[in-house]
Amino acid sequence: MAKLSVNDLNVAQRRVFVRVDYNVPMEERGGEMVITDATRIKETLQTLRLLIEKQAKIILAAHLGRPKGKREPTMSLRPVAGKLSEMLGRPVAFVDDCIGEKVDKAAAALKPGEILLLENVRYYNEEEANDAAFAQKLASIAEVYVNDAFGAAHRAHASTEGVPRGVASRAGQCAAGLLMERELKYLGHELDNPARPFVVILGGAKVSDKIKVIDRLLEKAGVILIGGAMAYTFQLALGQKVGKSLVEPDKTGLALSALEKAKARGAQFLLPVDNIIADAVNTGKLNKKGKPILEFRNPRVNAQPNIPDEAEGLDIGPATSARYAEIIHQAKTILWNGPMGVFEDPRFAAGTLAVARAVVHATEKNGAKSIIGGGDSVTALNQAGLGEKVTFMSTGGGASLEFLEGKVLPGVAALTEQSP
């Protein structure tokens, strides 16, 4: 059943609690926290402008990082209030708490069309515990609830699950925001009945992260293209040598069953035919997490099935890139999640870039719908300046994967059903 939309709400003069995902990357510069990518803020502007136009009193709630119940100053949402104000071209008030007297006062003082951002809800452990009393306090300032935080909708936390339950229990409406609706449309309905050929491109480090998505998409996709380190687990499963490549040796069974399922369904399941490899040399230094820092020397194409013992696979090779690009060019629907290699290092970015260009080409020249499933593939596309050239980029990481797996997201489930 479809959920109530922010479009359907009558919110004039009413206090609306809007959960947003402002968990944006930040960096410390000269003692200040600076937002390095404001995409998640930008993507909520449409919902906020609609609520302003409808003369709602807007209360924004969000989390930042994982402060684990402490007031961690580097995880304050204060810089987000400044950024949002700049992007909206109007004031955004900020209160340095999310419950209590200060918040009640600030909420009561709101005039129609005004916006208040609350401090990080994860400064309280009760947020992640979905504590009923805490949710009740958060909900007490709101008459209506809107969830535009797709990226956090897989969490059954107070601000995503407890608050809408509380608002609904006193017959208040709980609706999806416009970003939430776009996410559910592209990652949901659009993929339920995709125009064919439907090509799925999966990369990233781990088979275990993607196996359920593979399982579900095998029902629909004609072609699945595999890249990233997860490809090496498949190669290991097929009895090839993978050298020092990142693998999950205990997941080869899963990999084999995915290959068998693809065969049984008549879906093409393609693995790289060549790789970019390099010698992994221990520098003797440790990173922040205490792990040895490796240096990759002598990057080269490896065009045979086995990777030499001393080497590590770090990207798909040129023959694979060309083969994948050719298939992507024919697609009418594309879902891409996960980079093809270690694209942060320019020596191992060619495969991811080739896929990114092919996806854009199919979108522009073949009328394909291209849907990018969030996380690193979005970063890679933006880095290549191609982010505007695909049909849709998800703002979710974990949430988009869980949704693609077919799971019910608690933040969505808690919203009011549309009346038939």
Positions marked active-site? 40, 206, 375, 398
**Under the criterion CB under 5 A, does residue 65 sit at the interface with Mg ion?**
no
Q: Rounded to the nearest whole angstrom, what is the least distance from the CB of residue 157 to ligand 3PG in the complex?
A: 8
Selected range binding Mg ion among 200-208, 209-217, 239-247, 393-401, rule: CB under 5 A: 393-401
Q: Which does 21 bind (CB under 5 to 8 A by kind): ligand 3PG, Mg ion, none?
A: ligand 3PG
**Under the criterion CB under 6 A, does residue 397 sit at the interface with ligand 3PG?**
yes
Question: 64 near 20, Cβ under 8 Å?
Answer: no
Q: Which residues of 152-169 are buried (b: 16+ CB within 10 A; e: fewer)?
A: bbbbebbbbbbbbbbbbe
Question: 333 near 198, Cβ under 8 Å?
Answer: yes
For 145, which DSSP code? E
Q: Which of 65, 69, 79, 398 binds Mg ion (CB under 5 A)?
A: 398
Q: How far is residue 227's CA from residue 232's CA, in Å, rounded to a whole number?
A: 9
Residue from 297, 287, 321, 319 nearest 203 by CA? 321
End-to-end CA distance of the chain: 9
Determine which helix (DSSP H) or strand (DSSP E) holds 325, and give its type and residue range: helix 318-329
What is the residue type of 247?
Answer: V
**Under the criterion CB under 6 A, does residue 151 sit at the interface with ligand 3PG?**
yes
Of the pair 83, 155, the CB lying nearest ligand 3PG is at 155
Of the pair 21, 161, the CB lying nearest ligand 3PG is at 21
Q: Rounded to the nearest whole angstrom, what is the least distance from the CB of residue 180 to Mg ion in the complex?
A: 17
338: which 2 tokens?
Answer: 């996960």
Give me the 87-126 binding string for Mg ion, x by CB under 5 A, dash otherwise: ----------------------------------------
**Under the criterion CB under 6 A, does residue 19 sit at the interface with ligand 3PG?**
no
**Under the criterion CB under 6 A, does residue 67 sit at the interface with ligand 3PG?**
no
Rounded alpha-carbon distances, angstroms, from residue 212 to 12, 86, 205: 43, 41, 15
**Under the criterion CB under 6 A, does residue 21 sit at the interface with ligand 3PG?**
yes
**Under the criterion CB under 6 A, does residue 398 sit at the interface with ligand 3PG?**
yes
Binding site for Mg ion (CB under 5 A): 397-398
